[in-house]
A and B are shown apart, each in its own frame.
Chain A
Amino acid sequence: MIIRLIQPVFKSLALVLPALIPSWRFFDAVSASPRLDYVLLAKQTDDSADWRPFRPRPERLTFPAMLRRMLWNAERNESLFLVSCSERLVQNPTAHSQSEILRRIARHLAPQADATPFLQVRLRFVLPDEDGALNSHVAYLSPVLAVKDLL
């Protein structure tokens, strides 16, 4: 009973302390980098492997676009949050990280859900091998889920 009462207090402290006594260890090491892919399916039993990168970066980001993003960068910031969720999902798996990834991707794809109402998501990590070539391995594969159930 007491533990249940003080648990939220400890959780709040755990969230506040890194801000009150920050570590400021930005970019101290570059590790494997997450990529999210999705496949939209017409039926839950489809076994299509038409994986597409979720929200790919623009091929060419112009300087005026960079300046606009100084004031409005909502999608990019959400993508950065999904990078955090992906790292959390591997390092310290929780239902929250999984749910955030699936729900945010589903909302993004909702306009296409009439024709292809089912969604599967995979998480890959990209890392160079000993020869420097980039390789990726799948760290998480979601079940096939109905997009409407995730909205």
Chain B
Amino acid sequence: MTLDGAMQLTTLMMGMAFIQQSLEHLRPAARPAERLLFVPRLMLSALLVGAALGLPIPPLWLLAMLLVNHMVILHFFAGPYNGGYDRMSLLILLCLTAAHAMPQHRELAFGYLGAQLTLSYFISGWVKVVNPAWRNGQALRDVFRFSAYPAGENIRGWAQHPRLLLAMGWAVMVFELAFPLALATRPTLILALVIAATFHGANACLFGLNRFFWIWLCAYPSILWLQERVVFPLLP
């Protein structure tokens, strides 16, 4: 995958993810001030999708305006609206803006996104595996039993299956910790990304974290490019 192709694909996917979440903020139940912030975000994102599809619009200005809009939104909510989703959104936006603003350093800017994507899985696995409650399955049981995350009461019933949750918890930890190893070959990386996307899809279904699914997928082209650019030349 070329750098231009990977950046174009990430730009297209991010624009579409921003359109999806902007529309959620434009429902009539939202406050007028909130809707006012997401109308420009929707329009800029639609233009960005157009630019990624080949319309003659310079993406740098759209990205810069989206960045300003994102900062205003962060101030409006006094922080992220949906935690890690907002952080990944802003990270992708910052990396793409930097890559377009500093063409001589664009490999560094876009590669940083790929590196952070790898870390997002590895560190998530590390903080779990060092916690005894995750190792003995109690933490995942608590997530289903009383945390605010299960999206339906029937999903809480999973807490009654401790062995299943213990196996699921270890499967998640092993996968997250082993993710950097998947960079060794193209087939293993593609398989790892398919598993990771399935994991995000399961989180979206069970916990209602739909935005995480879409935004993490947006960063996948960066790691596919980074593997070719950095990892393959290092391998014998």
A12 partner residues in chain B, CB cutoff 8 A = 71, 74-75
Bound: A126/B149 CA distance, A: 13
Q: Knowing A24-B124, A57-B153, A73-B208 touch, does A108 contact B87 (C-beta < 8 A)? A: no
Binding site for A on B (CB under 8 A): 20-21, 23-25, 27, 29-31, 71, 74-75, 77-84, 86-91, 94, 116, 119-120, 123-124, 127-128, 131, 133, 139, 142-143, 145-148, 150-155, 201, 204-206, 208-211, 213
Chain B min CB distance to A129 (Å): 12
The size of the chain A interface, using a CB distance under 8 A, is 53
Among A11, A81, A134, point to the contact of B82 (Cβ < 8 A): A81
CB pair A126–B116 under 8 Å, yes or no, is: no
Tell me if B's interface is mostly helix, strand, loop or mixed: helix
Bound: A20/B25 CA distance, A: 24
Q: Knowing A57-B153, A59-B152 touch, does A24 contact B123 (C-beta < 8 A)? A: yes
A58 partner residues in chain B, CB cutoff 8 A = 151-153
Q: Point out which of A29, A35, A59, A134 has the most chain B C-beta atoms below 10 A from its C-beta.
A: A29
CB pair B142–A70 under 8 Å, yes or no, is: no
Binding site for B on A (CB under 8 A): 11-12, 15-16, 18-20, 22-30, 33-35, 57-61, 63, 66-67, 69-77, 79-81, 83-84, 88, 94, 96-97, 100, 103, 107-108, 126-128, 134
